[in-house]
């Protein structure tokens, strides 16, 4: 029996989450799991054992994010088209599933194609953002389990979304652009670096990850061309 690990999300207290596929040998019996580990319980990586596990997704889990304001909460997205909210104090099942209930579907769907990325608002624990291979970025209200806003401004899949400290704003990277998107006004501004075409990434490689430093209000973007770029998008 083998495990396939894909993505991680870290808490400030030393615990972290992983999404993993249990591979018993028969593909029809593959199982999607989220594990929580605690770095304080072992001095070596080999000695780490899960302290909790969470189940419910029925296809590959593609992304995880933790809440900066509510540390016990985290979210996951999947190829099964769902976005789920979890409380690490109450495994194994999700607390909330986001999206609309489609006819003939077992669970509410957040996107019509796989969920590519998630992030939680740094100031509002009730607001999260998701992106999907359906070319959409969604803003969700956790109190209602529904979308507060949804935009489809992209000609390529939005692979990563990162919530800004400014209300209703996110950075979004696609396979060929980096954009600063206002969900309320449904507008997108291409990010720029001097000497490069606005927002275009063909010459520098696609960004595979983006992350805000909220204290400096700067965005860091890691490129497939083996470098990190820094953007000042908020002033």
CATH code at position 96: 2.130.10.10
**Above 50 in pLDDT, residue 1?**
no
Greater confidence (110 vs 7) lies with 110
* 28 φ/ψ angles, rounded to the nearest 5 degrees: -70, -15
**Above 60 in pLDDT, residue 185?**
yes
Q: Is residue 117 part of a domain?
A: yes
Average pLDDT, the chain: 85
Question: What is the DSSP code (8-state) at residue 79?
Answer: T
pLDDT value of position 117: 95
**Above 60 in pLDDT, residue 196?**
no
Which of 41-45, 128-132, 180-184 comes out lowest in average pLDDT? 41-45
Task: Look up the domain containing 130 and give its range.
Answer: 2-152
Q: Is residue 205 part of a domain?
A: no
**Above 60 in pLDDT, residue 20?**
yes
pLDDT value of position 224: 80
**Above 80 in pLDDT, residue 151?**
yes
Q: Is residue 189 part of a domain?
A: no
**Above 80 in pLDDT, residue 116?**
yes
pLDDT value of position 192: 72
Q: Is residue 82 part of a domain?
A: yes
**Above 80 in pLDDT, residue 173?**
yes
Q: Is residue 172 part of a domain?
A: no
User: Per-residue pLDDT averaged across 45-74, rounded?
Assistant: 89
Contacting residues for 27 by C-beta, under 8 A, at least 6 apart: none
Q: Is residue 230 part of a domain?
A: no
Quick one: CA dihedral 175, 160, 36, 44, positive or negative? positive
pLDDT value of position 61: 93
Q: Is residue 6 part of a domain?
A: yes
Token pair 């996110």 is found at 170
Q: Which of 149, 133, 151 is nearest to 141 (CA)?
A: 149
Q: Domain count for the chain, please give it.
A: 1
* 194 φ/ψ angles, rounded to the nearest 5 degrees: -50, 135
Query: Which of 29-43, 75-89, 192-206 is modeled with the greatest confidence?
Result: 75-89
Sheet holding 178-182, edge to edge: 158-163, 169-174, 178-182, 187-190
Q: Is residue 162 part of a domain?
A: no
Give the pLDDT band (50/70/90) at residue 63. Answer: very high
**Above 90 in pLDDT, residue 223?**
no
Token pair 């979304």 is found at 161
30 Rama class: left (phi>0) / alpha (psi -120 to 50) / beta: beta
Residue 222, judged by CB atoms within 10 A of its CB (0-12, 13-18, 19+), counts as: middle
pLDDT value of position 121: 95
Cα-Cα-Cα-Cα torsion 211, 214, 218, 224, nearest 10 degrees, comes to: -10
**Above 80 in pLDDT, residue 101?**
no
> Is residue 61 within a helix (H) or strand (E), and if so which, with residue range?
strand 61-66
């Amino acid at each position: 029996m083998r495990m396939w690990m894909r993505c991680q999300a870290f808490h400030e207290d030393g615990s972290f989450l992983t999404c993993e596929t249990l591979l018993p040998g028969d593909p029809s019996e593959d199982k999607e799991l989220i594990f929580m580990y605690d770095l304080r319980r072992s001095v070596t990586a080999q000695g780490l054992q899960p302290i909790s596990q969470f189940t419910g997704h029925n296809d590959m889990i593609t992304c995880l994010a933790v809440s900066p304001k509510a540390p016990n909460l985290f979210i996951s997205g999947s190829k099964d088209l769902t976005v789920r909210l979890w409380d690490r104090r109450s495994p194994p099942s999700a607390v909330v599933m986001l999206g609309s209930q489609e006819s003939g579907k077992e669970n509410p769907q957040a996107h019509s194609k796989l969920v590519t990325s998630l992030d939680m608002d740094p100031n509002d624990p009730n607001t999260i953002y998701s992106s999907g291979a359906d070319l959409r970025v969604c803003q969700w209200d956790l109190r209602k389990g529904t979308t507060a806003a949804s935009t489809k401004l992209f000609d390529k899949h939005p692979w990563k979304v990162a919530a800004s400290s400014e209300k209703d704003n996110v950075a979004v990277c696609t396979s060929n652009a980096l954009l600063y998107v206002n969900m309320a006004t449904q507008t997108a501004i291409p990010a720029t670096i001097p000497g490069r075409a606005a927002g275009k990434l063909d010459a520098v490689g696609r960004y595979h990850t983006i992350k805000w430093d909220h204290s400096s209000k700067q965005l860091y973007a890691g490129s497939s061309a083996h470098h990190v770029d820094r953007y000042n998008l908020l002033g």
